[in-house]
A and B are shown apart, each in its own frame.
Chain A
């Protein structure tokens, strides 16, 4: 079977009501979405507007789903899928669209461009045309489970050093980083130590019953639209949570991990998860509200701003939690404009940060975010996503923003009231 035919069959498998609605005549080509896209605004390339990008895919979908396009394709711009077009799709779905959904918010018809691009990502993965690095990172995440005994040994060694850091920060020699112990909370970090120490400090500070997961929360399979492997990555954490009898799974500050676990996984499994799933931001916000977490705000007059990661904010519904935390600590918080559901993608979303082949382009499309940050005149940018963190660090350097970038929890622990 030809690769284009296989691709079309794979597209059909993913053709659901949401995509079907957006795939044919919903879009009137009005062009309102054009300026909502950071890729277009950074490049001013009309072929990179949301509608132009989606149209490249839509014309193929129309060919098989729209009556007029089946009969007289030239009339609606419909076209058959070719091998060269498949190569173009790789760039459209993985490079030129970060799945940020800003165009959806600003489309009068609510055309779901990212849903279409997500289906195309899955299609490309199934025919092995997706970026290799995302596939490798997914493979590495899964391999962590395959070699669990060896990993456990490495992990325990690794944690001993981190525990000392937590004890020093809290001035408390009995502070612990429990691993694989029965507890109320299972905290799932990323690999980076900056996602382990701050939550460990916070959990010890409030005296929470918690344990650290053996796994990491990131889910590169979601970027690939590879649902079987995305489920596998989530499932191992669910099994761990069940084994440890926890009540709540708390995720590190990672945008796509939150979106995957909190919102997408229940859809993949077809039922609600047995555990409450929260971001560490939500947990910190709860601790603040109940008064168990207290901060010393006297030293925090530095100009600070917050970047809403798309997966946490526009796709996740977490807007006020980080702001409540930041405003307790900082007396000089400056809102970025626009922000919350209208915030711009940093340019590194959708797995783009991991792809060094497209690094120059990624920095170029970070221009909108750089301009937004510059306008706040903040000296520090906080965010809640490692991809955003990395991207903003790079654009800060490239565009001479001269800002420090940090995750919220990492920044917040320096202001803890420690007696």
Chain B
């Protein structure tokens, strides 16, 4: 078995299996969640639930809308950099095998530059999680494992982009596959719940005229 064959298997077949695995588990999760009962708002509507939902999804892009981001702008910027890096690193797992022509040296460097801050932020997050008591006491092995795994994911991603040898690409795609298998079980799956949570909360606050706030009588 040649290295080329193994790399091909890891970049295509293994990723496809892992993606299907993740899709099946997410589907089960979503179905389970959707089957839980819910009591919608039934009091006379005061605000606008649709605007509430939109605003709820947009909250994270508006650092001034939450005290927790407004008073910690650097933390919010870190959050942004981390998630941009993660998105690029995920996107990259598709562009490598499916759009090789797109991966020019400039694009490779650009992607690496976008992932690198996430790697740095990841180190800061790890230091804070260990160093700050209020974070340490709520941290579980899953928190540390997820954080450290992502660091490897970012690192291998950067190396695969900048060095590009088969062994770096193999390492990158192996950890990607490992991630896809693990993510549905871990807290990294928060982004699935996020869509439910923000929708439900946004609809409630919108309905009641809390967010967006009603400045004058409608």
Contact = CB atoms under 8 A, between A and B. Distances in A.
A16 B47 CA distance: 24
A289 B217 CA distance: 10
A51 B133 CA distance: 13
Contacts of A49: 134, 138
Interface string B96-137: 000000000000000000000000000000000000111101
Given A46-B134, A273-B43, A341 B197 contact: no
A266 B46 CA distance: 14
B4 interface: no
A272 interface: yes
A320 B214 CA distance: 8
B193 interface: yes
Interface in B183-218: 184-187, 189-190, 193-194, 196-198, 200-202, 208-211, 213-217
Contacts of B59: 108, 110
B33 A267 contact: no
B165 interface: no
Contacts of A342: 67
B73 to A, nearest CB: 13
Contact of A29 (B75, B79, B138, B216): B138
Nearest to B192: A25
B208 A16 contact: no
Contact of B213 (A16, A33, A111, A340): A340
Contacts, number: 169
A104 interface: yes
A393 B131 CA distance: 40
A108 B42 contact: no
B138 A341 contact: no
A15 B217 CA distance: 36
B36 interface: yes
B13 interface: no
B132 A315 contact: no
Nearest to A59: B140
Interface in A16-49: 16-18, 20-22, 24-36, 40, 46-47, 49
B17 interface: no
A110 B215 contact: no
A167 interface: no
Interface in B48-91: 56, 59-60, 66-69, 71-72, 75, 79
A76 interface: yes
Contact of B43 (A35, A40, A76, A266): A266
Given A16-B37, A67-B185, A75-B141, A341 B210 contact: yes
A263 B41 contact: yes
Interface string A83-115: 000000000000000000000111111111000
Q: Which of under 10, 10 to 19, 20 to 34, or 35 or more describes the interface residues of B?
A: 35 or more
Contact of A28 (B75, B187, B198): B187
A314 B193 contact: no
Contacts of A27: 187, 190
A316 interface: yes
Given A26-B194, A29-B143, A36-B67, A52 B134 contact: yes
A317 interface: yes
Given A110-B201, A263-B41, A68 B186 contact: yes
Contact of A32 (B69, B202, B211): B69
Given A25-B193, A47-B137, A110-B201, A35 B213 contact: no
Interface residues of A, number: 66
Contact of A21 (B67, B145, B197, B210): B197
Given A31-B135, A262-B43, A320-B216, A106 B68 contact: yes
A110 B204 CA distance: 12
B197 A22 contact: yes
A108 B68 contact: yes
Identify which of A267, A271, A313 gathers the most chain B CB atoms within 10 Å of its CB. Answer: A267
A269 B40 CA distance: 11
A104 B66 CA distance: 10
A233 B44 CA distance: 20
6 contacts: A29-B138, A47-B137, A75-B142, A110-B59, A267-B40, A317-B214
Interface of A: 15-18, 20-22, 24-36, 40, 46-47, 49, 51-52, 55, 67-68, 74-77, 104-112, 262-263, 265-267, 269-273, 276-277, 289, 313-317, 319-320, 338, 340-342
Given A26-B194, A29-B140, 12 more contacts: A17-B38, A20-B36, A26-B193, A27-B187, A31-B132, A34-B134, A35-B67, A110-B201, A112-B201, A316-B210, A317-B46, A342-B67
Which 8 A-B pairs rank lowest in CB-CB distance, beginning with the nearest?
A: A317-B209, A266-B42, A77-B140, A46-B134, A26-B193, A106-B68, A110-B201, A317-B208
